């Protein structure tokens, strides 16, 4: 198989897996289901991916990497707490809206949190914790840490519940609500 064919098949596999994992849950969708959706044999599927966990990793790693970079960049570049908050919340919402179907999988499918995905999901938890720390600001009391966690959840969780709302309108409302939570 030519290199372009291989990468095209991998992309088709990842897209088919996203559809199946979202429709059936990660746990319920089988490698056989993914192969059938792509129109290849199960042994051919294993030529491209060793496991369902590896497919999930390839599916969720790009938005997770972008979330991580967004938070790192916000912490490094923003001169004020208000700017850090704007960059963290806006950047995370933008990444999540840009990968909406994958975020639905991460936010609503508990079966993605298993033994084969422990490292990846631990990274998601770490990124979320760093975002909340940045939103809380320096030396926060417990009340501000609570509001920071609430603001992050308010800005990100509804993305998976409102697939019918246009991105730009949803973005605006998510950021308005999160900002209101952080206001003194």
> For the segment 88-115, what is each residue's pLDDT rounded down to a tens digit?
999 999 999 999 989 888 888 888 888 8
Q: Which pLDDT score, from 0 to 100, does residue 3 have?
A: 57
- Report the run of H or E that residue 134 belongs to, with start and end: helix 118-136
Alpha-carbon dihedral sign for residues 2, 8, 13, 16: negative
Burial class (CB in 10 A: 0-12, 13-18, 19+), 105: buried
Number of H helices, E strands in the chain: 9, 0
User: Looking at the predicted structure, is the pLDDT value of residue 28 above 80?
Assistant: yes
Q: Which pLDDT score, from 0 to 100, does residue 107 have?
A: 83
Chain centroid, CA 139 distance in Å: 28
Across residues 147-153, what is the average pLDDT? 97
Question: φ and ψ at 130, to 5 degrees?
Answer: -65, -40
């Amino acid at each position: 198989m030519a290199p372009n064919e291989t990468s095209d098949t991998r992309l088709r596999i990842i897209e088919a897996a996203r559809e199946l994992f979202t429709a059936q849950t990660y746990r319920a969708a089988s490698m056989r289901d993914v192969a059938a959706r792509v129109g290849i044999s199960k042994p051919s599927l294993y030529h491209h991916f060793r496991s369902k966990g590896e497919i999930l990793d390839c599916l969720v790693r790009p938005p997770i990497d972008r979330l991580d970079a967004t938070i790192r960049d916000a912490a490094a570049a923003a001169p004020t707490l208000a700017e850090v908050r704007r960059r963290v919340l806006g950047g995370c919402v933008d990444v999540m809206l840009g990968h909406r179907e994958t975020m639905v999988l991460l936010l609503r499918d508990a079966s993605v949190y298993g033994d084969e995905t422990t490292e990846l999901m631990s990274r998601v938890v770490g990124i979320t914790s760093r975002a909340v720390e940045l939103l809380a600001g320096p030396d926060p009391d417990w009340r501000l840490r609570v509001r920071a966690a609430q603001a992050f959840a308010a800005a990100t969780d509804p993305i998976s519940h409102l697939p019918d709302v246009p991105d730009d309108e949803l973005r605006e409302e998510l950021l308005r609500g999160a900002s209101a939570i952080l206001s003194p």
